[in-house]
Amino acid sequence: MPFYGGDFMKKKSEPQNPSRRNFLKNVGVGTIGGAILTGTSGKAASTSTAIEPDSGPIPLRLKVNGDTVNVSIHPETTLVEVIRDHLGLTATKIACNRGECGTCTVLLDGKAVYSCHLLALDAADKEVTTLEGLMDGEKLHPIQEAFLAQDGLQCGFCTPGQIMTAAALLNEYPEPSEEQISIGMSGTICRCAAYPNIAHSVKDASRRLKKPGGNNEQES
Amino acid sequence: MNRKVEKSRFFFEQDMQETVGEVSTLKPKPWGPDVKLDVVGKPVTRFDGYDKVSGTATYTFDIKLPRMVYARTLRSPHPHAKIRAINAKAAWEVPGVLDIISSDNTKSIPWYRNTSMIFDSHLRFEGDEVACVAAETLKSCEEALRLIQVEYEILPFVVTAGDALKKDAPKLYDSGNVTWGKPETYKRGDIKQGRMESEELVEDTFSTSVAIHNATEPHGSVVNWEGDKLTVWDSTQAVFRVRDSIAAALKIPDSHVRVIKKYMGGAFGSKLSAGKYTVMAALLARRIGRPVKIILDRREQNLAVGNRPDSVQRLTAGAKKDGTLTFLTHDATGAGGAYPSSAGCSWPARTMYRCANMKASDTTVYINAGPGRAYRAPGHVQGTFALESLMDELAEKIGMDPLTFRMKNLADTDQVFKLPYTTKLLKESYEAGAKEIGWQKRNRTPGSGVGPVKRGTGMASQIWWGGGGPPAYATLKLNRDGSAHVIAGTQDLGTGTYTIMAQVAAEVLDIPMDRIAVTLGDTGTCPYCGGSGGSTTAASVTPAVRDAAERMLTKLRSAASAILEVSETDLNYEKGTFTVKTDGKKKADIGTIMQKMREQALVTTGARNANPEGFAINTFGAQFADVEVDTYTGSIRVKRVVAAHDIGRVLNRKLLENQFHGGIIQGLGFALMESRVIDPNTGKVLTTDFHDYKVPTMMNIPEIKVIIVSEGDTRISAVGAKGIGEPAMIPTAAAIANAVYNAIGVRLRSLPMTPDKVLNALEAAGRKS
């Protein structure tokens, strides 16, 4: 399912539809790509002490913010659950948990995805980037600096999602037009409606990223 | 001490509060227009901005404690039912389930102003609480919820106020379906007389839909018992109110409950009171001896934790040909949901215009749906839409420009309390806004534009309180290195409270912003401040910060005088250092003074001053909207909004503009798309997610211009700031509605103005596009 409507986004490596059919097929044959670990290393990767009502967990290797992580998850676990609950990366929030509001937006191979709406298994073999991944230690990424400078936020709860949406937009369109910003950011709801300043932030981020010496590592 | 206990009055949401409380009687020179300020009023970057853009800001949603477990609530699937029996046997078998509570195994705890209980066997809306499960994981909770068998006695339901008032309507309470048993009424003058004096009159009915706050961070809490003491992290606008409610519900001392809210993901009024979920989590946590996290999902947000009640408003008004308003009546009915709340919306009509003969009546009705709660200018948003639409109609009828008509009827006093206003710059707001939007360029004849896409311009006025008042306190701790810590039991809702409090402290102490830390929202450590609603926070709390800082300077000056052996009046203070006026070499800085005093943290606590006697304190403003209406599709696009307001002192221009954007865009959502829909056949809510409950996105935003016509209101406090959160939203929907009329020449009297309503109205008016 494309994240952006219409033909606005050129889809290079569009995230796979986390469809039930795919999911069942994959689980059915007991393997998903090359990322599923063997049973033994899976046991080692299991950190969850939770008691689950269903069958046992599956080991999964993910690449998050440049680090390879091994987790042991139930197949129905969403990407955001892995990010928040297993990895403790709590910048990413959940507001609707059904792929409607964009608060949980992260990058998957540089593209914006709703991480509440994507099975973690479908993120195997792909690069996941969360807001934490933009940071350089305690130093903000130019996009984050732009949101701070332009006050592109109020309560801040959707802000991680807004910034990651902006990151994906700027990956695709380094110098977005107003219309591209309007359409590109429209999948992420800000109920405080800090939208005008969010738009300014995206423009400012574009300027900051263009500057020589700007942090370009997110540009894929 | 410069403190005393005295009476003070202010408005919180629509309620007049009279407090007999401790206030500061220190009277520092108010920051009037003549005072040059270095930090206050400047567009300082949001104090907590780094935390929010870096993702390090921790919300209740993010709290995770050792051994913490999760809880979820079983809610009534029926709009009206009684519980006959609950069988949770199968649910107990789910691995990971730790506890299940319901009316079967808990004591009754009164809730909803004693009209119900935490677990009441009488369920009055779809979403009313039935049981609560604690388990090791959320998945176990949800599995258990599915397995709890409840035998319901299904009762007849009613889901509109109109139906609920019918004679044979199903009753929610034995006492009937009218909340408080009767309408809330108001009257001045003689309506008959006013009618006789009028040369033209208008009479119309307006309606608005139920709107849901839908803050991004769900309502929720994390609770942890340490012996008999309870710590609650809550997504709330009112830490002290939550503390007292939870303590009362659990019958433990207030001192044993600590409520913490550092960051909160939006609220808009829906988090002003404690939720049942917090009590249920605390009960579970006590029974199982582990911390419990309970977070509502989006569906629960749309069902059970507040809304702006709908309205059907009948208004009549008359005027003389010269534009004098001779009478005004406003009769409103609104559905407040299943438990007591107010749907009243006639306040703007009571006070907005000078009118000797005025009568109002507000009827709030119980229906089988989620209870209402304050939502950003409760009542005023609905009431202003109706009043300001009607004023435009009346202006047209007497052939007067709508703005001229309003200017003609400016009220120079508060006609309800018969008091003058501390300030009222509504005329100035009208003039500034009209100039900016180009009022003269609008369609002389509504609907006269050519082509299928019609442009129009409209405007509406705003009145609200927002002056704040006591009690509110702030503690200031000053360190030897000249850095300071401001501590207050208020809340930052994303509005910028952290920032403006630091600005005020920095201004008075003359120390840089980056030397200041602010702690808010913790009943365990902060002095008392009220809930952050009614646009009262800035107006109530910043004077307390100034008071604390002024007291600190007094203390330092006294110490410096002793150390430097000169009189206090011989000292100059600048940037943390006292210098002897006559000898610039003799000086003592904060570090030196505190070292001599053997203090490592000098402490003062400041208080809000009393509000002035004999005045009404209000905010005013006007908004102007440019719209485009596509008469083929019925879609409305708001192109531009100009907001010109009288809101006292601007504390931070950057934050102020952002908050205005938010209010205006929420107003736009209310005008064009937001509506809770209930299926009349099943009584069930159809709009329980962001797909069905439409809110504005980046695609909907107009160009927005914010103009502030006011300076500091020196009568209300030494800071002179008033609130803006609600004023920003009040007139937007009305201005858009008037602009739509100016565009198409057909009036829409029902919000939201969705494309179907636009097309139907055009069709009915015979203006085929």
Residue B729, phi-psi category: left (phi > 0), alpha (psi -120 to 50), beta (remainder): alpha
Identity of the residue in A53, A88, A148 whose CB atom sits nearest the CB atom of B143: A53
Q: What is the identity of the amino acid at B422?
A: T
Q: Do A147 and B53 touch (CB under 8 A)?
A: yes
Token reading at A9: 């986004």
pLDDT along chain B (769 residues), means of 10: 80 78 88 92 96 98 98 98 98 98 97 96 98 97 98 98 97 96 97 98 98 98 98 98 98 98 98 98 98 98 98 98 98 98 97 98 98 98 98 98 98 96 98 98 94 98 97 97 98 97 98 97 98 97 98 97 96 97 96 95 97 96 98 98 97 98 98 98 98 97 98 96 98 98 98 98 79
- The Cα B521–Cα B357 span in angstroms is 45
Is the preceding omega at residue B752 within 30 degrees of 0, hence cis?
yes
- The Cα A102–Cα B583 span in angstroms is 63
- Residues of chain A contacting residue B50, judged by C-beta atoms under 8 Å apart: 140, 148
Indicate the pTM of the whole model: 0.93
Q: Do B215 and A155 touch (CB under 8 A)?
A: yes
In the DSSP assignment, the letter for residue B697 is: -
- Residues of chain B contacting residue A154, judged by C-beta atoms under 8 Å apart: 266, 493-495, 658-659, 662
Nearest alpha-carbon partner for A120 in A219, A45, A40, A206: A45
Q: Do B140 and A53 touch (CB under 8 A)?
A: yes
- The Cα A152–Cα B701 span in angstroms is 14
Interface membership of B99 toward A (CB under 8 Å)? no
- The Cα A34–Cα B395 span in angstroms is 73
Token reading at B179: 């909340």
Chain B nearest-CA distance from A135, in A, is 7
- Residues of chain B contacting residue A88, judged by C-beta atoms under 8 Å apart: 64
Q: Do A198 and B698 touch (CB under 8 A)?
A: yes
Q: What is the identity of the amino acid at B419?
A: L
H-state helical runs in B438-486:
none
3-state SS assignment for residue B724: coil
Q: Do A186 and B56 touch (CB under 8 A)?
A: no
Residues of chain A numbered 175-204 and touching chain B (CB < 8 Å): 181-183, 185-199
Residues of chain B numbered 679-708 and touching chain A (CB < 8 Å): 689-691, 695-699, 701, 704
Q: Do B50 and A91 touch (CB under 8 A)?
A: no
Residues of chain A numbered 28-87 and touching chain B (CB < 8 Å): 50-54, 74
Farthest-apart Cα atoms in chain A, separation: 54
3-state SS assignment for residue B730: coil
Q: Do A96 and B689 touch (CB under 8 A)?
A: yes
Residue A54 has what pLDDT? Answer: 56
Chain A nearest-CA distance from B424, in A, is 28
- The Cα B264–Cα B472 span in angstroms is 21
In DSSP notation, B14-69 reads: TEEEEEEEEEE---PPP--TT---SSTBS-PPPTTHHHHHHT---BGGG---TT-E
3-state SS assignment for residue B9: strand
Q: Do B51 and A96 touch (CB under 8 A)?
A: no
- Residues of chain B contacting residue A103, judged by C-beta atoms under 8 Å apart: 216
Q: Do B216 and A199 touch (CB under 8 A)?
A: no
Nearest chain B residue to A81 by CA: give it.
Answer: B138
Distances (CA, A) of B27 to A25, A149, B2, B546: 75, 36, 9, 11
Could you identify the residue written with the tokens 């809000």? B608
- Residues of chain B contacting residue A100, judged by C-beta atoms under 8 Å apart: 689-691
Q: Which residues, in sequence order, are bridge partners of residue B220?
A: B295
Residues of chain A numbered 5-34 and touching chain B (CB < 8 Å): none
3-state SS assignment for residue B551: helix
Residue A147 has what pLDDT? Answer: 98
User: What is the tens place of the pLDDT at every residue in A195-204?
Assistant: 999 999 999 9
Residue A27 has what pLDDT? Answer: 38
Beta strands B122-123 and B81-87, pairing class: antiparallel
Chain B nearest-CA distance from A54, in A, is 9
Is the preceding omega at residue B731 within 30 degrees of 0, hence cis?
no
3-state SS assignment for residue B585: strand
- The Cα B45–Cα B372 span in angstroms is 35
Q: Do A159 and B53 touch (CB under 8 A)?
A: yes
Identity of the residue in A98, A148, A156 whose CB atom sits nearest the CB atom of B263: A156
Identity of the residue in A51, A157, A194 whose CB atom sits nearest the CB atom of B136: A51
**For the complex shown, is ipTM > 0.95?**
yes
Nearest alpha-carbon partner for B109 in B241, B246, B216, B2: B246
Taking each helix axis as running N to C, give the angle between helix A195-210 and helix A142-149, from 0 to 180 degrees, rounded to the nearest 10.
Answer: 140
Taking each helix axis as running N to C, give the angle between helix B497-509 and helix B537-564, from 0 to 180 degrees, rounded to the nearest 10.
Answer: 30
pLDDT band at A39 (very low <50, low <70, confident <90, very high): very low
What end-to-end distance do the CA atoms of chain A give, in Å? Answer: 22
- The Cα B714–Cα B729 span in angstroms is 25
- The Cα B573–Cα B511 span in angstroms is 11
Nearest alpha-carbon partner for B353 in B394, B313, B381, B396: B394
Residues 6+ apart with CB under 8 A from B15: none
Q: Which fold has domain A20-133?
A: Ubiquitin-like (UB roll) (3.10.20)
Chain B nearest-CA distance from A89, in A, is 9
Token reading at B398: 């007497």
In DSSP notation, B129-152 reads: EEEEEEESSHHHHHHHHHH-EEEE
What are B512-518's contacts with CB under 8 Å, separation 24+? B513/B39, B513/B44, B513/B47, B515/B481, B515/B482, B515/B483, B515/B484, B516/B483, B516/B484, B516/B485, B516/B486, B517/B483, B517/B484, B517/B485, B517/B486, B518/B47, B518/B485, B518/B486, B518/B487, B518/B488
CB-CB neighbours of A124 under 10 Å: 17
Question: Counting beta carbons within 10 angstroms of the beta carbon of residue A82, is it exposed (0 to 12), middle (13 to 18) or buried (19 or more)?
Answer: buried
Torsion sign over Cα B244, B246, B251, B254: negative
Could you identify the residue written with the tokens 């914010």? B706
- Residues of chain B contacting residue A94, judged by C-beta atoms under 8 Å apart: 61
Nearest chain B residue to A149 by CA: give it.
Answer: B45
Q: Where are the domains of chain A?
A: 20-133, 135-210
Distances (CA, A) of B766 to B269, B298, B423, B746, B752: 42, 42, 46, 10, 22
CB-CB neighbours of B38 under 10 Å: 10
Nearest chain A residue to B98 by CA: give it.
Answer: A51
Residues of chain B numbered 285-304 and touching chain A (CB < 8 Å): 297-298
**Torsion angle (degrees, nearest 10) of CA B95, B101, B102, B105:** 120
Farthest-apart Cα atoms in chain B, separation: 88
Q: Do B698 and A182 touch (CB under 8 A)?
A: yes
Residue B620 has what pLDDT? Answer: 98
Nearest alpha-carbon partner for B159 in B304, B372, B341, B368: B368
Q: Do A100 and B689 touch (CB under 8 A)?
A: yes
User: What is the tens place of the pLDDT at every residue in B348-382?
Assistant: 999 999 999 999 999 999 999 999 999 999 999 99
Q: Do A95 and B217 touch (CB under 8 A)?
A: yes
Residues of chain B numbered 534-573 and touching chain A (CB < 8 Å): none
pLDDT band at A14 (very low <50, low <70, confident <90, very high): very low
Q: Do A90 and B55 touch (CB under 8 A)?
A: yes
Q: Do B214 and A191 touch (CB under 8 A)?
A: yes
Q: Do B690 and A189 touch (CB under 8 A)?
A: yes
Chain A nearest-CA distance from B77, in A, is 20
Nearest alpha-carbon partner for B161 in B388, B331, B330: B331
Is the pLDDT at A51 greater than 50, yes or no? no
H-state helical runs in B258-362:
276-288, 298-304, 347-351
Chain B nearest-CA distance from A161, in A, is 10
Q: Do A148 and B53 touch (CB under 8 A)?
A: yes
Could you identify the residue written with the tokens 């959502």? B669
pLDDT band at A55 (very low <50, low <70, confident <90, very high): low
Chain A nearest-CA distance from B67, in A, is 10
pLDDT band at A4 (very low <50, low <70, confident <90, very high): very low
Residues of chain A numbered 92-131 and touching chain B (CB < 8 Å): 92-98, 100-101, 103, 130-131
Token reading at A184: 């590109």
H-state helical runs in A101-158:
131-134, 142-149
Dump strand ranges (E) for A42-170: 58-64, 67-73, 105-108, 111-114, 127-129
Q: Which of A191, A195, A201 should we substitute to test contact with B (largest number of B Cβ atoms within 10 Å)?
A: A191
- Residues of chain A contacting residue B659, judged by C-beta atoms under 8 Å apart: 154
CB-CB neighbours of A63 under 10 Å: 17
Domains, chain B, in order of start with CATH, read 3-59+468-607 (3.30.365.10), 63-155+214-304 (3.30.365.10), 168-203+318-411 (3.30.365.10), 417-460+616-769 (3.30.365.10)
How far is Cα of residue B741 from the mean position of the Cα atoms in its chain? 29
In the DSSP assignment, the letter for residue B180 is: G
Average pLDDT over residues A182-193: 98
Cβ(B83)–Cβ(B70) below 8 Å: no
In the DSSP assignment, the letter for residue A85 is: I
CB-CB neighbours of B262 under 10 Å: 19
- The Cα B208–Cα A177 span in angstroms is 36
Q: Which fold has domain A135-210?
A: DNA polymerase; domain 1 (1.10.150)
CB-CB neighbours of B549 under 10 Å: 26
3-state SS assignment for residue B360: strand
Question: Counting beta carbons within 10 angstroms of the beta carbon of residue B121, is it exposed (0 to 12), middle (13 to 18) or buried (19 or more)?
Answer: middle
- The Cα A195–Cα B699 span in angstroms is 9
- Residues of chain A contacting residue B48, judged by C-beta atoms under 8 Å apart: 156
Nearest chain A residue to B652 by CA: give it.
Answer: A151
- The Cα B719–Cα B547 span in angstroms is 10
